[in-house]
Chain A
């Protein structure tokens, strides 16, 4: 029935009517310039929409507006044809918009027809006709209850985090005992490699930063103590502060940022590329192969770095005390010997392996928790550094209470 109606329409158009000829002339120029047009030509009971020009993605905004305009014609009593015989170029965007127009003009029993389709575009239009325009479910907007829910989940997640850390600690200790029983399964090469990454390559930057911090502490101390004529006490302050607290704490924070993040990113991308699953299927324990060497390297590295850091800070402090405060090196060393005992040094260095273990466990837990996406890798790497630093400071507080109560 439809094609019969279209034939009538074509015959009507073929008869030389002034208005139509005028329109044809007009569109001829438009085809050259490429601008798409959709013209309405009414003839008797039939309405034809003539599409001309380039119906492609580059003209999509114009096309969409034209089609939206034409859609308002829906509901009329006429037979509607969409004549695409003069379309110069058609792609999926154009074809879909014509199909959308056809669908919205189809009301009740009268179906809008697409006519004049050239052979090379018919398969594209057929393809587009199969598309079901399903409404896309929009992601839920941000609401107050949603935000409260997020806060609730985050709080509940804290318990999960602690459980994950304890779980990893247990797994690492178990793997450690296994290695103690079968020392040949210990991965020495891997451990040495990580020692190089974490310890040896970290030395320059850690020494530099702790040196500068030592300088700053000494300068500030001298500046303020000078008012009381207590310049020399800057040595006491520097010694106690650096050996007990600053040395190890600062180095631990730097290592969390430098190596903790690297561990998380390494393990996370291995998880994403199924490398960890591959290890498992080959009968290897990822904890033993990947986590234990990293933990060992970190636990060995942090005391060394903390010691080097403390020495660099004392050196920097001594240098500033000499150049800025006029404290002669001999006087500085004498005073330092009186001010600090081996206890101060032990208090500092004992904390280092524990902090290293905390950083390592946090980093490995986060690394193994990475999901499939790049975003998840970023989130877990951030979480690794933030949580690592947080737990380092918490541990430092716990140690302070402990040493205070045993009188060290």
Chain B
């Protein structure tokens, strides 16, 4: 058992091998390989429509794949039993692009929903933890009794993050967390992800288009193109890369503005 724990620390938290995903005759992902290391924030970039969200959804199990294997926490998701899979699902949190909050539940009920399902704790503790999560994501306790339709875009993202974190997962998937936020809000969000990663020891898989996020929040960057990972490494590696899309992305007008 101790050896198992040891190997889990050394092995990548997500190991994707030769993944192929196809919609009809269009091949979106074509033999893709990717490792996400424990405790890192991985920024995942690529042109619009390249399949970034598809990869995220494939790893989470929402999109069926044609070939390849996915291991999360050392568990092969194809051959795992239902209980193993539930165990894995309990250890990850997902922030969807649009928040995907349950519209008929209040913010408090949204955050408590996974707790109610997986933990047997008192209502008092759930309420207190909800307040703790709201404080962590930078929201006021008053927000707790509001419905998602009464929240602003930035607040929805924060509440969705609080819900993704509600069971204290080891791994969170963030699908474009800063899209639709103002630059200050986006900066705060990057800072927040950084802080949470430090305090909770999270591993973060972040799909993003935001250059600021890549510079300030991410430890490592992976680039998707033509259904494969075309580059992975630090921001310096990305800037040094000769790939035309990467050159355009990291040396374009916007990138220069971010770098100052």
A: which residues have CB within 8 A of B?
56-58, 60-61, 64, 91-93, 96-97, 100, 120, 123-124, 127-128, 130-134, 136-137, 371-376
Contact = CB atoms under 8 A, between A and B. Distances in A.
B125 A131 contact: no
Contacts of A100: 128
A373 B104 contact: yes
A113 B199 CA distance: 20
A137 B146 CA distance: 12
21 contacts: A56-B168, A58-B119, A61-B119, A61-B121, A64-B122, A91-B200, A92-B129, A92-B133, A93-B121, A93-B129, A96-B125, A96-B128, A123-B198, A124-B200, A127-B199, A131-B132, A132-B135, A136-B144, A372-B147, A372-B149, A373-B149
Interface string B118-140: 11111001011101110110000
Given A128-B132, A131-B131, A136-B127, A123 B147 contact: no
B141 interface: yes
Contact of A57 (B104, B141, B167, B201): B167
Q: Of residues A96, A131, A133, which shows the largest number of chain B Cβ atoms within 10 Å of its Cβ?
A: A131
B133 A57 contact: no
B103 A372 contact: yes
Given A96-B132, A123-B198, A124-B199, A64 B103 contact: no
B166 to A, nearest CB: 9
B148 interface: yes
Q: Which secondary structure dominates chain B's binding surface?
A: helix
Contacts of B209: none
A284 B148 CA distance: 28
Contacts of A57: 115, 118-119, 167-168
A93 B122 CA distance: 12
Nearest to B102: A374
B135 A131 contact: yes
A18 B144 CA distance: 51
B145 interface: yes
A113 B121 CA distance: 26
Interface string B69-92: 000000000000000000000000
Contacts of A136: 108, 127, 144-145
Interface in B97-127: 102-104, 108, 115, 118-122, 125, 127
B147 to A, nearest CB: 6
Contacts of A64: 121-122, 125
Nearest to A128: B132
Nearest to A100: B128
B114 to A, nearest CB: 10
Contacts of B135: 127, 130-132
B103 A374 contact: yes
A127 B136 contact: yes
Interface of B: 102-104, 108, 115, 118-122, 125, 127-129, 131-133, 135-136, 141, 144-145, 147-150, 165, 167-168, 195, 198-201
Contact of B168 (A93, A132, A376): A93
Contacts of B104: 373-376
Contact of A60 (B103, B121, B148, B201): B121
Nearest to A121: B199
B168 A91 contact: yes
B119 A132 contact: no
A216 B170 CA distance: 64
Nearest to A377: B103
B168 A92 contact: yes
B130 to A, nearest CB: 8
A97 B124 CA distance: 11
Nearest to B135: A131
B128 A131 contact: yes
Given A91-B168, A132-B135, A373-B148, 13 more contacts: A57-B115, A57-B118, A60-B120, A92-B165, A92-B168, A120-B201, A123-B195, A124-B200, A131-B131, A131-B132, A132-B131, A134-B131, A375-B103
Contacts of B131: 131-134
Contacts of A124: 199-200
A120 B145 CA distance: 33
A56 B129 CA distance: 12
Nearest to A139: B145
B30 to A, nearest CB: 33
A61 B200 CA distance: 20
A371 B150 CA distance: 11
Contacts of B149: 371-373
Contacts of B165: 92
A255 to B, nearest CB: 29
A132 B141 contact: yes
Contacts of B103: 372-375
A272 to B, nearest CB: 8
A375 B115 CA distance: 22
Contacts of A127: 132, 135-136, 195, 199
Given A91-B168, A372-B103, A60 B119 contact: yes
B111 to A, nearest CB: 12
A92 B200 contact: yes
Contacts of A374: 102-104
The 10 lowest CB-CB distance pairs between A and B, nearest first, are A372-B149, A375-B104, A373-B103, A91-B168, A124-B199, A123-B199, A373-B104, A60-B121, A131-B132, A136-B127
Contacts of B128: 96, 100, 131, 133
B207 to A, nearest CB: 22
A114 to B, nearest CB: 15
